[in-house]
Chain A
Amino acid sequence: MSRKTVARVIAVVGVVLALMLAGGAPDDFGIRSIAPMVGGS
């Protein structure tokens, strides 16, 4: 795969991923990695 193709993949997929990350807001399993900081009863 040429550098140009790699750059194009990053550009296109990056735009779609950025759209999803900026517009989406699921509470995902990342929350468990910070569980000790969350506190609770």
Chain B
Amino acid sequence: MFVLTIVLALLLAGFTLRFGTTGLQRLLDHRFAWAWAPPLAALAQVVGVCVPALRQPALLTTIALLMAFCYANRAQRGLLIAGCGAALNMIVMFANGGLMPVSPDQVLASHGVPVVAGVQVPLSKNIALYDDQAVLAFLGDRIVLPGLHHVAIWSLGDFVLIAGVTLFLFSTMRGSHHATLRSALAD
């Protein structure tokens, strides 16, 4: 979770540098439909992590809330793409008992932490599983970025999610062509 917060902070900083305070203001003026759904989905994930008995219901709740949010905001293509990324993660987690599989070998190589296969990483969404033990292992956490191997192990869904959020922030902070024209004409 730390790394996603940092990614968002970097994206916001980068686009603010690119588009200035006008871009930031455009983002602040954006109105989400169903804005309460993502915080509730995040809360459901916390419940799923803290109460193992509720893991699958919490995951289903998360999926439903995130998909509803992305559909309600489908005018923003970035949010639709982000929803697809979240769905990829949720599908593989649901197929693995509500947990995201990560290879013990990659955890050792990336973080220097030895983990036993089958062990759930405490207070996280991850479970250590080799590829032949996991369902849909190709959608699990298995991608390590060169030079950033010690930071995180990513899934395909994580990249699609970040790409969607990046597109949303870019298109919102840049403003539409029509808005730019209106602004120019007003000046």
A11 vs B1: C-alpha distance in the bound complex, in angstroms?
A: 19
Flag B23-55 by CB within 8 Å of A: 1 or 0 each. 000011010100100110110110000000000
Q: Which of A9, A15, A20, A29 contacts B7 (CB 8 A)?
A: A20
Fill in one digit per residue for A3-23: 1 if any B CB lies within 8 Å of its CB, else 0: 001001101111111111111
Mask, B119-156, CB within 8 Å of A = 1, is 10111111000000000000001000000001111110
Q: Total A-B residue pairs with C-beta atoms closer than 8 Å?
A: 155
Among A14, A17, A20, A26, point to the contact of B153 (Cβ < 8 A): A26
CB-defined A-B contacts under 8 Å, sample of 5? A22-B86, A25-B89, A27-B100, A27-B124, A31-B111
Residues of A within 8 A of B151 (CB): 28-29
Most chain B beta-carbon contacts within 10 A, residue among A18, A22, A39: A22
Nearest CB in chain B: distance from A4 CB, A = 10
Indicate if the CB atoms of A15 and B3 lie closer than 8 Å.
Answer: no
Contacts of A26 in B (CB 8 A): 3-4, 141, 152-155, 158
Range, interface on chain A: 20 to 34
Output the least CB separation between A21 and chain B (Å).
Answer: 5
Q: Is there an interface contact between B152 and A27, defined as CB atoms closer than 8 Å?
A: yes
B12 at the interface (CB under 8 A from A): yes
The reply to whether the CB of B8 lies closer than 8 angstroms to some CB of chain A is yes
Summarize A's interface: helix, strand, loop or mixed. helix
Listed in ascending order, the chain B residues whose CB lies under 8 Å from chain A are: 1-5, 7-8, 12, 27-28, 30, 32, 35, 38-39, 41-42, 44-45, 62, 65-66, 69, 79, 82-83, 85-86, 89-90, 93, 100, 102, 104, 107, 110-116, 119, 121-126, 141, 150-155, 157-158, 161-162, 165, 168-169
Q: Which residues of B contact A5 (CB under 8 A)?
A: 28
Contacts of A17 in B (CB 8 A): 4-5, 8
Q: Which 4 residue pairs spanning A and B have beta carbons closest together? A: A23-B86, A40-B114, A18-B38, A22-B41
Question: A31 vs B153: C-alpha distance in the bound complex, in angstroms?
Answer: 11
Q: Which of these, A20, A22, A27, contacts B121 with CB under 8 Å?
A: A27
